[in-house]
Structure 1
Amino acid sequence: MRSMERRENLVATFSIIGADPQTGEVGVAVQSKFLAVGAVVPWAKANVGAVATQSWANTAYGPEGLALLEEGLSPEDVIARLVADDPGKNLRQVAVINAEGVASAFTGEECYDWAGHIVGRHHSCQGNILVSGETVSAMSETFEKSKGPLAERLLLALEAAQRAGGDSRGKQSAALYVLQEGAGYGGYNDVKVDLRVDDHPEPIEELKRLFELHKLFGAPSDKTVAIEGDVFEEIKQQLVKVGLLAKADQSSYEGEVKDALKTFTLRENFDDHWTEDDMINETVLEFLRKK
């Protein structure tokens, strides 16, 4: 390992790559004292795997690594191929995971202290220029103990890494990138989560805030509530509050109230959860209540 006598263009960071073979999700979460780390480190392809490339990052490792995985190479063999002809390999750090959850990682011997990685069940955690190895250990332990959607587990691990010390130089950017076949907007692509914080004093906290918004808009509840009684009265009052109804004295949902609620639902990007029935989506109702 090396001390930090030169560090221009150095993507010092900590990251985690993970896969959930049951759901088909693959993804990467990353934080760094580096502008827009999400444009450099994370790479993934649904039903194939994910790559994290950092520490004097060779961004060619991303697409080339995914292509090699798609050809059927193991993550270990993919890394061997990637670094074989790279004259800067001793400064590189890279991790690769396939859709089955098999992972491998490489930390070049000239990466700046603290640098290293842990490969575990369905994940790999890695970092360089860290306060200590506790950052990587905390990340791995948190992921292994967690349950739920892959994006949430990756984010929990990233948060634990920061609490354990994180990047010794500080904080600047973070990203969360998760793919699953057909899980993108409208089902037209595989991008389930693609969130970036490019420059922020608390990038992980900001990433968490964005993820909560993503869950609200990207995956609302399918449950609906009947528009009647107290719910009907509450909806009218809230629509007045947001300026879509002049007053709340209507006795029927049909007509003015329904039109106003439809305008609100579409305006707030809940297009897929509008219904012409006398029902309101549970998430839309909760969102309206907070206005």
Structure 2
Amino acid sequence: MTFSIVGFDPKEKEWGIAVQSKFIGVGAVVPFARAGAGAVATQSYANTAYGPHALQLMEEGKTAEEALEIIMQDDPDRHLRQVGLIDAQGNAATFTGEGCYDWAGGMIGEHFAAQGNILVDQRTVEAMAGTFTSTEGTLAERLLKALDAGQEAGGDSRGKQSAAIYVVKEKGGYGGFNDRLIDLRVDDHPDPIKELIRIFNLHQLYFAASNPDRIVPVDGSVKEELEAELERHGYMKEDKTVHQGLRDYLHTENFEMREHEGSIDLDVLEFMKKQGK
């Protein structure tokens, strides 16, 4: 009742998983990742011990295939399991037990493993694999596009409920204090992948650095638009200047990453225009 894709970006040294299921809170069960070790998706009567165990083995130097063999060797219910792995070097492995409900199967390719069970048919896995391979962008963007393509190709035959994306990178977390670069979940929603993409785009607006091409001085028509939006949102009280109002807005809305002295990120202005409408 789940489909997922595990991937690796060799340039950025990022490992990640994107997953969707007709199951509440799939992000609490399927994805495991550790910077410098790899990533694991464990599903279909998921044995959640697979995640930490495989990551430890791969951190010690085992390949994805070697780790897969070891974590399953003493599991009496391995025939019910499905798992995909990417190791520290980006090598992939996938396994689908003969007891998984149809359609069930997986594919591996360069730096990815895609798998699913209780799917409409094999086209979901094929679409994830093809999209991940052909798509450019960050690892998170490629994983989400692949997951969305899998849903469009058929997806879970029982329907949709939850989705998640988890990407790790050394010191990639907030403030550089941990490795959790992207950790987003939609636990219960009629269209969880689309909602996950919406939340991811918001996450990027809040935490990604501004595109230099989108930073412009606060003057002319930009200043007029900004002042109107600040007035609409209640940030031009007490005879504040436009720059003071903008500063207050950015700090209230947690846009400190996009604060630029004397200028504004146009992505923030576009967000302001849509906000509250």
After TM superposition, the score normalised by the length of structure 1 is 0.89
Are 1:278 and 2:262 counterparts?
A: yes
Aligned partner (choices 86, 89, 92) of residue 78 of structure 2: 89
Give the aligned partner of residue 153 of structure 1.
142
CA contact (8 A) 1:25 1:99 kept: no
CA contact (8 A) 1:221 1:282 kept: no
Q: Share of identical aligned residues, percent? A: 54
SS at structure 2 position matched to 1:19: strand
Once the 2 structures are TM-superposed, how far is the Cα of residue 222 of structure 1 from its aligned partner? 4.5
* Letter of the 2:9 counterpart: D
The 1-side partners of 2:271 and 2:179 are apart by 27
The 1-side partners of 2:226 and 2:136 are apart by 36
Give the aligned partner of residue 225 of structure 2.
234
* Matches for 1:22-41 after TM superposition, within 5 Å: 22-41=11-30
Are 1:268 and 2:253 counterparts?
A: yes
The 2-side partners of 1:133 and 1:233 are apart by 54
* Letter of the 1:287 counterpart: F
* Letter of the 2:252 counterpart: R
The 1-side partners of 2:74 and 2:125 are apart by 28
Once the 2 structures are TM-superposed, how far is the Cα of residue 201 of structure 1 from its aligned partner? 1.1
CA contact (8 A) 1:52 1:96 kept: yes
Give the aligned partner of residue 15 of structure 1.
4
Q: Deviations over 1:256-277 (max 9, x none)?
A: 33222111010111123324x3
* Letter of the 2:227 counterpart: K
After TM superposition, the score normalised by the length of structure 2 is 0.94
Q: Unpaired segments of 5 or more residues in structure 2?
A: none
* Letter of the 2:266 counterpart: E
CA contact (8 A) 2:210 2:257 kept: no
Larger radius of gyration between Structure 1 and Structure 2: 1
The 1-side partners of 2:20 and 2:57 are apart by 26
Q: Unpaired segments of 5 or more residues in structure 1?
A: 1-11
Over the residues paired in the alignment, what is the CA RMSD in angstroms? 1.6
SS at structure 2 position matched to 1:114: coil
SS at structure 1 position matched to 2:108: strand
Are 1:144 and 2:126 counterparts?
A: no
CA contact (8 A) 2:58 2:88 kept: no
Once the 2 structures are TM-superposed, how far is the Cα of residue 233 of structure 1 from its aligned partner? 2.4
C-alpha change, 1:159 and 1:39, in structure 2 (3 Å) is: same
